[in-house]
Structure 1
Amino acid sequence: MLDTSKIAILTTVANFDLYHRNSKLFPKGITKYVIDGTNGMHGIHSIYYMFKRLSKAPIDWLILADEDLVFVDANRVFNLIETMASNAISVCGVRDGGVVKHRTYNPHVINTFFTVLNFKEILQIYDEKEVKRHQYITEGEFDLKTDLLAYDYDEMSLYEPYYCFFLWLLRKGKKLYYLDSKMHDDITNVGFFEGDPLFYHTWYARAYNINEKHTKRINAVLAICDDRKSLDDEENSTDGYKLFKDRFFAKRQKLLKLQRRLINRLRV
């Protein structure tokens, strides 16, 4: 029996307008966490920060979902987690190469716009310093069923700094489950679980209510789920999320950037 009280969902938010709209469609009855990403925090930095802030939280399973991800039937995520638990699967999500038309990168790793983690299990072995050492790829290191990949990909790609997290898990022998994905339009993709749509991912969250073209496109996807009862469900009110913010992140990144520039100049 799945204990939903030990399932949580985390979003690193760059656009709170979109988050307040979409989080009403999140799975019911689970804790919502938000990392404030308006200071530039995202990707691997969010993962590092996530483990620091949630290491003491009573979480068995953690769902990572961007604010531009729209659930079709969010509670089916519980069925997905049950499948993962039954099959000793540690991580689930969509490949970052070969299945989304405009993501032509590494098909062995998962894009963090939607990721389900066996957080309790991974936390037991998590070591940030060790994770950082895995931002590399060896040719032929992992098996790949190319017949499942409809679009371009690059097995040697290290495009995203967060790849090290998934490559570390693979090298630890953890099992990854890749969801099927199809294009809804030229940008939006649809994630499937057991043959049925689970979510739409619109991309370009930062452009919502800023860029007219992307706002119209995202609103068209949002309209698909407008008739869902969870839109008016008080249980899924956005008022209950727990907010984390690293107030000095942007300053640290700026200092690190200046430091790298100085080092590069000294090397010339």
Structure 2
Amino acid sequence: MQVSKTAILTTVANFELYRKTSILFPEGVQKYIIDGRDGMHGIHSLVYMMHKLKNKGIHWLIMADEDVVFTDNKLVFSLIDKMNIEGITVCGVRDGGVVLHRKKNPFVINTFFSVINLKEVFNIWNKKEMLKNQYIEEGEFQDDLSGLKGDFDRKSLYEPYYCFYFWLRRQEKRFLFLESKMCSDMIANDVYYENKKLLCHTWYARSYGENKKHTDRINVILNANGVENNIETDFMDVIIYKKRWFYMQKLIRKYYKYLIMKLRK
């Protein structure tokens, strides 16, 4: 596996937290940031990602939120090797039935952490067709969900980004769903690959530095993994993207929908 063709992308809402957690990111890969402080996230971030990373020569893309704390960052390369050998396009943790406070759709992943074969996705990329996939038909996916310990909703369309993963599944792309266990605080969850802990997802990134409960809770996890409160990385090796006028465009679309609804009454 060529590290030079692997990259890691984070849509960042909290740069203070990113400065701490990114110290533990996999080494030797290019880091990219999408500035999410103006509300850029989810499906908007995915579409923007496909636009900005085109022709960058990236084969494997690691997607990790700023509240992801890697505990064994070298393990991700073993995961990528498995995906490469077995023809797996996407891996991640189900968004239902695994993390106890995520009771959404179990047929797709939660984007807090994933690895995707970006080269393969680019080969079939069609934005308009992808966006048409925000639906699920009765009995469409035949995953064995009997081993899931948490609640889930097979019909959930809770996250607008689900369409990206439904589209890939309907293109018959293979998914690998990773194991996860709740941490002692019953908020954070550890993610495992081959029975080895890969990372901890702390959740509540936006609350870090604002809410004492979550700040203290996340600091405990950071400290346990060797990240001291006053240590922060710089941005010398990070490429940052920010979509100009995104917030204004979002407001205009929202106002337009409001006007249409008023006119239809």
Settle same-fold status: TM greater than 0.5. Answer: yes
> Which residue of structure 1 aligns with residue 218 of structure 2?
218
> Which residue of structure 1 aligns with residue 176 of structure 2?
177
- Encode CA deviations 1:153-180: one digit per residue, 9 max, x unaligned: 0010000000000000000000000000
> Which residue of structure 2 aligns with residue 204 of structure 1?
204
TM-score by length of 1: 0.95
Relative to structure 1, is the Cα distance of residues 3 and 137 closer, same or farther in structure 2, using a 3 angstrom cutoff?
A: same
Report SS of the residue matched to 1:11: strand
Q: Which runs of 5+ in 2 are unaligned?
A: none
Q: How many residues align?
A: 262
Q: Which runs of 5+ in 1 are unaligned?
A: none
What letter matches 1:203 in structure 2? W
Between structures 1 and 2, the one with greater helix share: 1
What letter matches 2:237 in structure 1? G
2:112 is aligned with 1:118: no
Report SS of the residue matched to 1:107: coil
- 8 A Cα contact 1:97 1:154, kept in partner: yes
Q: How large is the Cα RMSD of the aligned pairs? A: 1.4
> Which residue of structure 1 aligns with residue 248 of structure 2?
251
Q: C-alpha separation between the residues in 2 aligned to 1:138 and 1:115?
A: 25
Offset, 1:227: 6.8
Relative to structure 1, is the Cα distance of residues 157 and 226 closer, same or farther in structure 2, using a 3 angstrom cutoff?
A: same
What letter matches 1:173 in structure 2? E
What letter matches 1:266 in structure 2? L
Q: C-alpha separation between the residues in 1 aligned to 2:242 and 2:199?
A: 27
Q: C-alpha separation between the residues in 1 aligned to 2:158 and 2:234?
A: 36
TM-score by length of 2: 0.96
Q: C-alpha separation between the residues in 2 aligned to 1:165 and 1:194?
A: 27
Q: C-alpha separation between the residues in 1 aligned to 2:227 and 2:11?
A: 26
Offset, 1:224: 1.7
Q: C-alpha separation between the residues in 2 aligned to 1:45 and 1:90?
A: 21
2:85 is aligned with 1:86: yes
What letter matches 2:67 in structure 1? D
> Which residue of structure 2 aligns with residue 146 of structure 1?
145
- 8 A Cα contact 2:179 2:192, kept in partner: yes
Offset, 1:237: 5.5
- Encode CA deviations 1:16-61: one digit per residue, 9 max, x unaligned: 0000000010000000000000011000000000000001101000
Q: C-alpha separation between the residues in 2 aligned to 1:119 and 1:175?
A: 13
- 8 A Cα contact 1:24 1:237, kept in partner: no
- 8 A Cα contact 1:11 1:67, kept in partner: yes
- Encode CA deviations 1:35-89: one digit per residue, 9 max, x unaligned: 0000110000000000000011010000100000000011110000000001000
Report SS of the residue matched to 1:158: coil
What letter matches 1:95 in structure 2? R
